Every structure is written in structure tokens, then in C-alpha cells.
A and B are shown apart, each in its own frame.
Chain A
Amino acid sequence: MKYIEIIIVAGLFLWALYFIIKYLQGLFKKNCDNPCAGCSYSKQCNKKYE
């Protein structure tokens, strides 16, 4: 059980570290081709009419 606990905690720690690095990298990324990228509305600028 102890090993599983360590693996879970290590996994969560690595995820947290990875996420923070990605987050910071994303903020300081130089060029953004998609004009909607990084905006809260970007994910759904798409609509289909029948």
C-alpha cells in the first residue's frame, strides 16, 4: 500500500509541476497564430446552421 501511495503522490506532484511549467510557457509564448487562442471564447467560435 505504501508504494501505491508514493506512486500516486509522485504522479500528482509531476502533473502539478508539468502543468505549472506549461501554464507559464503558454503565457510567455511569442506568437499566436490563432487569433482566438488564449481567449475564453475561442473554443466555440463555430456554429452550424441547418
Chain B
Amino acid sequence: MPQKYNYVIGLIGNPNVGKSTLFNSLTGASQQVGNWPGKTVEKKEGVISWQDQIIKLVDLPGTYSLTAFTKEESVVEDFIRLEKPEAIIQIIDAQNLTRNLFLTLQLLELKIQLILAVNMLDLANKDGIEIDIAKLSESLGVPVLEINARRKKEIPIFLRNVILAFKTEQVGGKKAAVSKILAEHILDAEYIHQRYEFIKGLEKEVVKRNFNRSSKKFDRYIDSIVMNKYFGIPFFLIAIWLVFQATFKLSAPLTIWIQLFFSTLAVWATNFFSGLGVSNWFISLFTEGIIGGVGGVLVFLPSIGILFFLISVLEDTGYMARVAYIMDRFMHKLGLHGKAFIPLILGFGCNVPGIMATRTLQTRQERLLTILISPFISCSARLPVYVLFVGIFFAKYQGLVIASLYLLSVTVAILVGLVFKKIFSNGLSAELLIELPPYRYPTVRGLLLHIWEKIGAFIKKAGTIILAFSIIIWLLASLPIGVNYGSKESFAGSIGQLIAPLFTPLGFNNWQTGVALTFGLVAKEVVVSTYGTLNGVTDVSAGNAAGVLSVVLQQYFTPLSAYAFLVFVLLYSPCVATIAVIRKETVSNKWALFVVANTVFVAYIMALFIYQGGKLIGLN
């Protein structure tokens, strides 16, 4: 039965003003937030109960205007036109009043019931900007409320004020001085000029600026280093290398504890089931199949957690927005759409939201091009494979090797993008419009939320899809009856032997790798869990998990073929979730299949080049 709401309210605003943060605070959701534009590309709904009122809150994608050029602008326009909300709360960044008020005027022109929520006043004050809230409200004829979306304790007061605004019918009813500018002239240059003139006048009345702008000076000083024309990219490369180096150093002791935990669990399970008098094959299901598969993946939990903690620090301080800017400059020189880098950055976490973020691009061709290159970006699911192999084959250069894989993923994405660009020849590409957030200390809550999001998703995946595949692979490795577990003669062995010869030129033609890569199509972590299940990483006799797999993998790979394998895993077909979202976003089976074929082809060529090239120059 559809729920009845007392009010439907839309949250609107320019990108990166704190809409999602406010939405999360108001609804208790944990939608991804970030300090670059384009994180929210769909409207999200939440329900708030306030005393006897039930409010449906809709978080809309960030937009600068109501011109419906991009998909997110269309989403906003459709929401206003079709859902006819009782009110719109526009979040305004106190530090950028001019740019934010442009959208305000458009909303007022549409005679929409409007409440303004001025966010980040504390930061504006630090920069010497003081806003007379009462005067702003009086001039525009709408209620203007102060809000700090990051401070949860202020949220109930804000909500009460919003409801109060409804009850006292204060909301946007008055005719503002701007209302004569009609909505149909939204794109008319003359009206745009008039709007800015109005805003300029309004600012003179309500904004007071002091000269004490020390924080801006500090930001500019840091920016002169990290965004320098020559040092920006090298600085970014060093930062990435440091992140991976720190990830390994910090996660190593925790990883060993988890390995020992699963080894102990396997010993305990063996003793427990032996005590019950059950068969060895049944015990094998738990120790080799489930603990080997799921445990084999969960040992990488600390690496994932620490890596995303460090990336979140870079994000929350404002550095990643600068990286987007630097890369935009670089990509634009190559003739690629700078805005495409935002979906690519998102793809480092997971390719699925990365591909969804392509909706911020203006033309179908630009969207399609970015969708085609997004799967090359190294998502977090590939990290367990890297950590496993790098720990075994490149122990001295762990950070360097993993950083090289991440850089390779971006390089391949750009190169393939350039090829498609030539084919599509879609003319000029638009500049990225990105506002650099001020440098900030990350909040503990924000960091914990980011990490929990990643760790929670990883644990959930381990307990569901990876567990399910571990059971299936265990069964395939145990049947037909009478074969030795995990032998060539098993069903798993037959599948692996069928596929393995294809990889002979790439240097890894063992059947276990054939099985791991086949099931890895579902989710990349399954590559690791397959090795774990087939080899029983928690073999009790070995004392710890890494020991067994390390010995096994060193029989199959040399450092050179291991690197070629990592490159193949990095680039080959995206997981099924990504394929599904490509199909949804392009509304085409053809493009989804093309992405699979294209990524497998590129992965094969790259791995072949690395292995054969490496052999030619005498590497092993």
C-alpha cells in the first residue's frame, strides 16, 4: 500500500554544497557523500517522521541551473514538474553565495515554495564572510535557515524550523522582486545578466566581507604546490605510492592475525567434526571449501579498510577534488572530456557507481565513451588479488607494484578512450566545472562511515556470493566420486584444463588459474577464494594460511608471469554487476557484450606484451 505523506520536500542545490550530507543526517541514511560534484546522479528518497507529520524527502542531483542540459538537470526538472513537491529546500554554500543564488532566482521564478538552508556558515565566517540571514530572507521573500549539515545535533532544530515554516505558511508565498523574470526566459542572455545584476545588488546588502582571509591564503599556498603545472602529477604519483606503501605496512600484522584466526577455526572445525565421527569429505567442505574460500578473501579485510581509510583522508581533506582538476587539465590536452575523470575516480571504489556517474556528461556519445573505458579502472574487488600475488612475488616492492597497476589502469582507460574518440569523432569536449573545496580536517565520523561502507560491503559479499561460489567450486573439485579433492581429474580440473591452454602465451597455463579466472567473471574476489578453496589455504598442517597458497602459487607462476596475470585480472571482463549496469545505462545488450569482448581483448594483448616482452629482455 502506498504510504501517505503530509509533505513531499525536495533537497536541491549546486553540486557539492552538502545536500547528501543533510539528506543522510535527516533520514539516517548513509548515502555516499564527497567533496566533488557528481556523486549523486539519481534522486534518492527518504522518509522522516516528525511528531504527527510524515515527510518524504527527495535528495536531487546537484545542479547549477534548470536548463536540462545534462541528465541530472533533467532529473531535477522532472521532479519539480511531475511530482509537484510541497516545497523545495535549497542548500546554499555560504562561501559561494553568487553562484548559488542564480539557481535560487530560477526557482523563485517558477513560483516554487522555497526554503533556503545556508550551509557552511562557519567556514564562510573563517574566510571573513558574514551573511545577514534575516535580510536575505526579507529580500527574497522566503524563509532562510542556517544549517551545518555535518553537525547532527543541529538537525532536529533545523527540521522543526522547516515544519514551522510550513505551519505558519511562510514558505515562498511572497512575490520577490525577481518574480517578473519569467521562467521561460531561463536561457535568455539578457535575463541571465539581469539575474546576476540582482544578485550583485543583493550581495551588497546582505554580505559583509572582512580582509582577514588567512585560510584562503593557506589554501592558495598548498594549491600552488599540489596543483602546480609541472609538479601536480608527480606529487599525485608520490601520494598514491605512499598510500599503497602505508596500506601494506599497516595491514600486515592485522592480516596475520586474521590468517591465524581462520587456521585456528579450521583446526577447531576438523576436531569438532572428527569428534562427531563424520566423513573426511564432509569436513573438507567446511575447512577447504568454506573456510578456505571465504577466509581466503576475508584475510584481506585490513588491506581494504586501511586503503579506503587513506583514500577517504585524501578525499575529505579536499585533495581528491584537486586531483580531478589536475587530471581534467591532462585529459583535456589529450582531447578527452575532462568531466569523464569523475566517474573514473568513483570507479576506483566500484565500477558500478562510476558508470552511473557518467550521467553527469552531456551527450550520449560522451557518456558511452566513458562507460566503455570505466571497466578498466581498478576497483576495490581486484585489490585482494593484487595483495595476494604481490605479497608472494614482489615482497620488497609491494607498494610500487600495486601503484603501477593502478596507474596502468588509468593509462589503458585513457588510451582506449582516445581510440574510441577517434572512432566516434564527437567533436569538442566540454571543460570540467569543478569547484575546489577548501582544505579541511576530515571528521572521524566521515572517515568511519567511508570505511564501514567498504568493509561492510566486503563482508557482505564474502558471506553471500563468495560463500555460494566457494560451495559450488568445492563440489566441482570433489566430484565425480572417487577423485582426489582438487585434482586435475575433478570437474573443476576439467573446466580448468579446457581454458588453461589459452593462457599459455601469457605465462600461466595451469588449470587452477583457468578455473579462478572463469569464476572471477562473477566477482573479482572470487579469483582469490577459488585458489583458497582448491588449495585449502587453511591447511591445518601448514600453521598459517599464506604458507600453503604461497608454496602452491610459486609452482605455477614466476614473478614475470605473476605480473602478467595481475595485469590480466586488472583489465579483463568487468564483474557481472558492472556488466548489468552497463546494460541498464546504455539500454543495450550489444554495448554490454562489446565491453566484455573489448576488455578481454585488451587484457590479453597487454598481458601478452608484458610476458613476452619481459622474456625478450631477459626477465623471469
Interface residues of A (CB under 8 A from B): 1-2, 5, 8-9, 12-13, 15-17, 19-20, 23-24, 27-28, 35-36, 39-42, 44-50
Contact = CB atoms under 8 A, between A and B. Distances in A.
B480 interface: no
B467 A49 contact: no
A27 B472 contact: no
Contacts of B28: 44-47
Contact of A49 (B49, B282, B469): B49
Contacts, number: 95
A44 B29 contact: yes
A35 B577 contact: no
Contacts of B467: 16
A48 B28 CA distance: 9
22 contacts: A1-B278, A8-B282, A13-B475, A16-B469, A17-B468, A23-B464, A24-B576, A27-B576, A36-B45, A39-B44, A41-B24, A41-B32, A41-B44, A42-B29, A44-B28, A45-B44, A46-B27, A46-B28, A46-B48, A47-B46, A47-B49, A48-B48
A2 B282 CA distance: 9
B464 A19 contact: yes
Contacts of B468: 15-17, 19-20, 23
The 3 closest A-B pairs by CB, nearest first: A45-B46, A47-B28, A27-B580
Contacts of A27: 576-577, 580
A23 B468 CA distance: 11
A49 B465 contact: no
A46 B185 CA distance: 39
Interface string B446-487: 000000010011000000110111011001000000000000
Interface in B1-54: 24, 26-32, 42-51
B472 A9 contact: no
Interface string B268-308: 00000000111100100100000000000000000000000
Nearest to A19: B468
Interface string B545-583: 000000000000000000000000000000011001001
B30 A9 contact: no
Contact of B277 (A1, A9, A48, A49): A1
A36 B44 contact: yes
Contacts of A23: 464-465, 468
B159 interface: yes
A15 to B, nearest CB: 7
Given A16-B469, A49-B48, A5 B26 contact: no
A26 B279 CA distance: 37
Given A8-B282, A46-B27, 9 more contacts: A9-B475, A12-B285, A12-B471, A19-B464, A20-B472, A23-B468, A40-B456, A46-B48, A47-B28
A13 B472 contact: yes
Contacts of B576: 24, 27
A13 B27 contact: no
A27 B24 CA distance: 25
Given A16-B471, A19-B468, A27-B576, A41 B49 contact: no
Contacts of A46: 27-28, 46-48
Interface in B499-551: 522
Given A28-B583, A35-B45, A49-B49, A17 B278 contact: no
A38 B259 CA distance: 32
Nearest to B160: A49
A12 B289 CA distance: 11
Contacts of A49: 48-51, 156, 159
Contact of A40 (B47, B51, B282, B453): B453
A38 to B, nearest CB: 9
Contact of B30 (A13, A19, A20, A41): A41
Contacts of A16: 467-469, 471-472
Contacts of A13: 471-472, 475
A44 B465 CA distance: 22
Contacts of A40: 30, 32, 453, 456-457
Q: Which has the most chain A C-beta neighbours within 10 Å: B28, B50, B464, B467? A: B28
A8 B60 CA distance: 48
Contacts of B46: 36, 45-47
A35 B580 CA distance: 17
Contacts of A8: 282
A2 B47 CA distance: 52
A42 B29 CA distance: 7
Contacts of B24: 41
B44 A5 contact: no
B282 A9 contact: yes
Nearest to B460: A40
Nearest to B473: A16
A6 to B, nearest CB: 9
